[in-house]
């Protein structure tokens, strides 16, 4: 990848990587750090990376950095330990997006990752498999299970309202 192609990848994918990181770690500054660290790691190897595969390479690198960040946070114990108060809201203030974000947060990391890559970022199964180092069958299973869990969560909320 040339220097100008590297700069194009920043323009094209930095926002997507930021959204991807932010959905996982819920910390804007840490998500920005993930984006910077991703591009730093890619810059070190930019001569070896093909421009055609740069998007996959960037998201794979970001994914591994997110996993490392989450592992470190769990060891240090700096997770936000506040309990989310479960209160039933009237239908007038019922915000589907907020509920979907809560549901996504309850998924295991790998399921959350594949759902975000598939439904938010628009990757196909093969690209997701490459990013997460899973095979396509595993990706499909994780997406299916995640969607089932989201569906069940939404049905629970529906019963409460």
- Sort residue 122 into left (φ over 0), alpha (ψ -120 to 50) or beta: left
pLDDT at position 65 is 92
pLDDT at position 76 is 59
Is the separation of the CB atoms in 120 and 22 below 8 Å?
Answer: no
pLDDT at position 33 is 92
Q: Find all residues with CB under 8 Å of 69, minimum gap 6, and list them.
A: 25, 30, 34
pLDDT at position 75 is 65
Kindly give the confidence (pLDDT) of every residue in the chain, 161 residues in length, as a single tens digit, with 9 standing for 90 and above.
888 998 999 999 999 999 999 988 888 999 999 999 999 999 998 888 888 888 889 999 999 999 888 887 776 554 344 333 444 444 445 677 787 888 888 888 899 999 989 988 888 999 999 988 999 999 999 999 998 988 888 887 766 65
Q: From 45, 116, 15, select the one nearest 53 (Cα to Cα).
A: 45
Alpha carbons 12 and 32: distance in angstroms, whole number: 16
Q: Find all residues with CB under 8 Å of 126, minimum gap 6, and list them.
A: 136
Can you list the domains of the chain with their CATH numbers?
A: 1-81 (1.10.1740), 83-161 (1.10.10.10)
């Amino acid at each position: 990848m040339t220097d100008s192609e590297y700069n194009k990848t920043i323009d094209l994918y930095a926002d997507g990587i930021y959204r991807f990181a932010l959905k996982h770690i819920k910390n804007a500054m840490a998500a920005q750090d993930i984006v910077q660290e991703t591009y730093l790691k890619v810059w070190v190897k930019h001569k070896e990376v093909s421009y055609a595969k740069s998007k996959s390479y960037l998201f794979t690198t970001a994914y591994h950095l997110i996993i490392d960040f989450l592992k470190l946070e769990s060891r240090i114990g700096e997770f936000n330990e506040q309990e989310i108060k479960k209160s039933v809201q009237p239908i007038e203030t019922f915000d589907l997006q907020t509920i979907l974000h809560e549901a996504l947060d309850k998924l295991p990391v790998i399921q959350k990752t594949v759902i975000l890559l598939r439904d938010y970022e628009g990757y196909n199964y093969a690209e997701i498999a490459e990013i997460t180092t899973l095979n396509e069958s595993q990706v499909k299973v994780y997406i299916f299970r995640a969607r089932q869990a989201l569906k069940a969560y939404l049905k629970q909320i529906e019963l409460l309202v």
